[in-house]
Chain A
Amino acid sequence: MLAILLKYRIRMLFSIFRGRARIGRTLAVILASLALIFGIVLSCLGIYIAVKADPVVGMGLLEILIAASFHGIFVLLLFTGLSLAIFTIFFGGDLELLFSLPLDSRTIFMYKFIESIALNARFAFLFLAPVLMLAGIVFDAVIWYYFTAVIITVLLAAIPGSLGIIFSAIIARHISRARMKNTMAVAGAFLGIGIWIAINAALNAFDDGGARDFPLNFQAVGLISSPLFAYLPSGWAYNAAVASVHGNWLSSITPFSLLAVSSLVLSYLAMAVTARHYRNGIVGESQEASLVRSSRSSVGRSPFLACMRRDLILLYRQPQVLVQIAPTLILLFLFPLIAGKNLPGSLGDMAVSSPTALFALVFGSQLSSRQIPLERLGFCWNLMISGGIRLALLAKITLGLAFVLICSVLVGSAHILVGAAPGVAYIIHLSSFALIGYGIGLPIGLIFADFNWDHPKRMLRGGGGFLLIASTMLSGFVSYLATFLLEKFIPATVTLPAFAAIVLTVAMIITSLKMENFEWVI
């Protein structure tokens, strides 16, 4: 039975390749996959060439990459694990159907457990696999290393997933579904602050001389080689992987055992709390009245302002949407502060480093891609009212651009104030990247919109989320490189805003054309 449930769940994941317009969507997903694979292979090849050119620095760089990948994925999964567990295991839309079927409750909880962990960890494999494979090739690892690497990845991915389930079980027992979203927003904010404190602590350890002996002289090295990270599961995974890639199996036993034991214990605990929860029946929709204290009854004159007001209220009352965007904004704010001026990746006159540019792009695209599905099934009202499509689009773009620009300017100004950024050009570059990202996300948010979403992670159908990540990265790469190449003729402060204007114009044209021909088949 479990196999049947999983089979149909996988089929649902691939629903993008079925139904109307499947050829276009399939092509889009194939192209995006190729772009992503190309990017990963290119990066790996670059590191491989660096290793061959200077083995000492290159191998050090590779080990840093492995450490950064493990820590990065772990932090990312911690963020997503909690909310995914809540909305998959405890408030999943399919629970009512599953419990009405002649299925053993253990089968249901195993299914939901695997679904939650797998959904949370799917990108971990995508990003970790090439890095670990590259390490195997560079260090001439034996075949057993590759098996060990897979096991390490699985064990690592299970930890944040299980932690998410355990914490969400506690939250779900005490908080009603109606209040869950606000609670998640607070939990997300606390988690973000916790990570920020941890990074600062690690940075202080580095200042005390923690990484003084390291051959490469930049702060990021010190940050990830900090002793604090050795106590994290991602640190155990890193130590186990590095020891096994060098064939030091004895040295890998301790970190591997720590990882395996904690992973199995936490998974067992997660299963136990899930089973206990399911024995008590499903948590239904709270019947408490959702009374809104200040529901103003004023009617304005402007339909445009009505659309803007609606969007603002929906954003405010669905805080989990903003929570999904918040980590990127936090990273955009914190990363240049932590990395300082020694951050690698800036090309030529570019004031913004490549990781900061990427965060700005992702921030913009995450916001715009969610603005249309934000309306859920109510979106069909835009299609029924006179001029509603143009009004809705105009209101969304005005609101989105204002939000992106305000955030970029505030973040950029803060970086300049603390001396982590050069000057006004930095704000222009940062805002331009955020606007490019906004332009990329807007049409994807409409074309792949899932208006019946139950979690902001699923606001885009099928391969929409994947396409968004791939095209955001690709557009960032292209605009960054093109600005660098054009630098001799046109300064970056002119090129980047021009790029942003072109991307935004094209995005608006595509989105408005698609909206004009939009059909409501739900």
Chain B
Amino acid sequence: MPALIKGERLTRRYGKVLAVDDVSLHVDGGEIVGFLGPNGAGKTTTIKMLVGLLKPDKGNISICGLDLTRESTMAKSRLGYVPDTPHLYEKLTTVEFLNFAAQVFRVAPDVAKKRIDDLIELFDLGESARKLISSLSHGTKQKVSLAATVLHRPDALLLDEPTGGLDPRATRKIKDVILELARGGRAVMLSTHILEIAESMCDRIYIIDKGRIIAEGDPEKLKQSVKTSSSLEELFIDLTGGSEYDEVLKYLAD
């Protein structure tokens, strides 16, 4: 399948700070790609550029073959994004928010109604359906965010730490949904700090550090490529500054 999410030589600065430096990546249809990196490595900035929330200083982005800058309307209609913190309209109810999402993504009313009912059932949002979003827990808000994102059946999905702060049951639910979406031929790019999720779910991973991609490939092959790494966690620590952790441990022991 062709690459549904493609970023070429993306560069982005915040003033003097080079947040993302010449990053190229792609996600094919039916593929789940993990995007790993320590805090402040440039993951969220890269994802925000791929979604169109930030403009790259250099580089090109295409979604489903559509240029995100020149054909942004078409590209965005095929895209879904779940941010690390669910940014929702706190003063709308769950149902009102899902209705709004369906309407602005131009889902036909009868189709939307059925999908909203299905998603409420799938994500166990029945009790929260008529409550204001401001009164929901973080996990429930995250589920509402994901439900609104998949409502228009996007071909490409970018998920920024979708399981952050969720309980094991909610995490499992979201993992199942992601796997199901990939099975349906969608491209899923997933940023996460939980390496177990990356190891078990992702077909490929990118590791980013200090704004640059430092490793890319199949998790198993990557582990083999670094002889000292028996797990993805060890590989990650090795590549992104294990010596710093040793120093911290030494300091704490003292």
List the interface of chain A (C-beta within 8 A of B).
Answer: 20, 178, 288-292, 295-303, 305-307, 309-310, 313-314, 317-318, 375-381, 383-388, 391, 517, 519-522
In the assembled complex, B96 has its CB within 8 A of some CB on chain A: yes
Instruction: From B128-136, B173-181, B196-204, B225-233, give the one contacting chain A.
Output: B128-136
Partner of A318, one of B81, B91, B107: B91
Partner of A314, one of B85, B91, B131: B91
Partner of B113, one of A20, A290, A292, A299: A299
Complex: how many Å from CA A454 to CA B45?
A: 26
In the assembled complex, B100 has its CB within 8 A of some CB on chain A: yes
Chain A residues with Cβ below 8 Å from B73 are: 386-387
In the assembled complex, B89 has its CB within 8 A of some CB on chain A: yes
Closest CB pairs A-B (n = 4): A306-B103, A378-B89, A290-B132, A386-B77
A299 and B130 form a contact (CB under 8 A):
no
Complex: how many Å from CA A310 to CA B48?
A: 24
Complex: how many Å from CA A124 to CA B51?
A: 46
Chain A residues with Cβ below 8 Å from B91 are: 313-314, 317-318
Closest to B14 in A: A20
Closest to A178 in B: B135
Q: What would be 25 A-B contacts, judged by CB atoms less than 8 Å apart?
A: A288-B135, A290-B135, A292-B93, A295-B130, A296-B96, A297-B116, A299-B103, A299-B116, A301-B108, A303-B105, A307-B104, A310-B89, A310-B100, A317-B132, A378-B88, A380-B53, A380-B87, A383-B52, A383-B53, A384-B53, A384-B81, A386-B76, A387-B76, A388-B76, A517-B55
Complex: how many Å from CA A367 to CA B53?
A: 26
Partner of A520, one of B53, B100, B134: B53
Complex: how many Å from CA A457 to CA B83?
A: 28
B87 and A295 form a contact (CB under 8 A):
no
If A299-B113, A303-B104 are given as contacts, then 20 extra A-B residue pairs at C-beta distance below 8 Å, sorted by A number, are A289-B131, A289-B135, A292-B132, A295-B130, A299-B102, A299-B107, A299-B109, A300-B109, A301-B103, A306-B104, A317-B91, A378-B90, A380-B87, A384-B76, A385-B76, A385-B105, A386-B74, A386-B105, A519-B53, A520-B54
Most buried by B among A297, A299, A301, A388: A299
Closest to B111 in A: A299
List the interface of chain B (C-beta within 8 A of A).
Answer: 14-15, 48, 51-55, 72-77, 79, 81, 83, 85, 87-93, 95-96, 99-109, 112-113, 116, 129-132, 134-135
Chain B residues with Cβ below 8 Å from A383 are: 52-53
Complex: how many Å from CA A309 to CA B100?
A: 9
Q: Kindly provide the distance from the CB of B110 to the nearest chain A CB, expressed in whole angstroms.
A: 9
Complex: how many Å from CA A313 to CA B76?
A: 25
Complex: how many Å from CA A313 to CA B90?
A: 11
A297 and B113 form a contact (CB under 8 A):
yes
B87 and A377 form a contact (CB under 8 A):
yes
B55 and A295 form a contact (CB under 8 A):
no
B55 and A306 form a contact (CB under 8 A):
no
Partner of B106, one of A303, A307, A314, A522: A303
A388 and B55 form a contact (CB under 8 A):
no
Chain A residues with Cβ below 8 Å from B99 are: 296-299, 306
Closest to A21 in B: B15
